[in-house]
Amino acid sequence: KVLSRFCKRKTARFRRRRNSAEMVDYSAELQRVCLPFLSEQESRDLLNRMALLSLQSGSSLYMLNDPADCLYLLVSGRIAVRKKTGFGDRMQVVALLGPGAPIGEGGLLVGQTRGATLSVVIDSRLMSLSRQAFDELSAADPALSLKLLKWLMGRVSLRLKKSSERLAHVL
């Protein structure tokens, strides 16, 4: 609920600035870093539904079990993914995400709670896409939403493969 209000508020604020030079800069950067498979027009159409988020080192993007209703695309910076170890409240870094990484795609697709805590390691800029904005995009441009979903599935598949390989080395 809190993230939902955050995403809606940020999207509304960002949309007011969508004709600024900054918006053009983010469109080019988003396409180059995160979504090179989209055309310039598709990138602009997607960006018009997204919100800009800047976070400083040491802050958290979200916490374990927070409600999940946004997809984030990391445009710049670095974010650590921390999971509970099972030893009290101890957390372990299981991944470091860099520019181009999709974050929280499960929240966009199935609306689950967050499965990890994400901490900003280096000042970061992200773009967020709320589930509501994605649903609107799907209705307005099914081909674009399908491209985005295929890309997300590819990234999720790659992460699962890497996790399985790391687990095999430990076992």
10-41: buried (b, 16+ CB within 10 Å) or exposed (e) per residue? bbeebeeeeeeeebeebbebbbebbbeebeee
Task: Kindly report the CATH number that applies to the domain delimited by 2-170.
Answer: 2.60.120.10
pLDDT score, position 146? 95
pLDDT > 90? residue 15: no
Amino acid present at 3: L
Separation between Cα atoms, residue 62 and residue 140, nearest integer Å: 29
pLDDT > 60? residue 168: yes
For the whole prediction, is pTM greater than 0.85?
Answer: no
Question: How do strand 60-62 and strand 51-55 relate by DSSP bridges?
Answer: unpaired
pLDDT tens per residue, range 34-79:
888 899 899 889 999 999 999 999 999 999 999 998 999 999 999 9
Burial label, 7 (beta-carbon count in 10 A; 0-12, 13-18, 19+): buried
**Rounded mean pLDDT of the chain?**
83
pLDDT score, position 86? 81
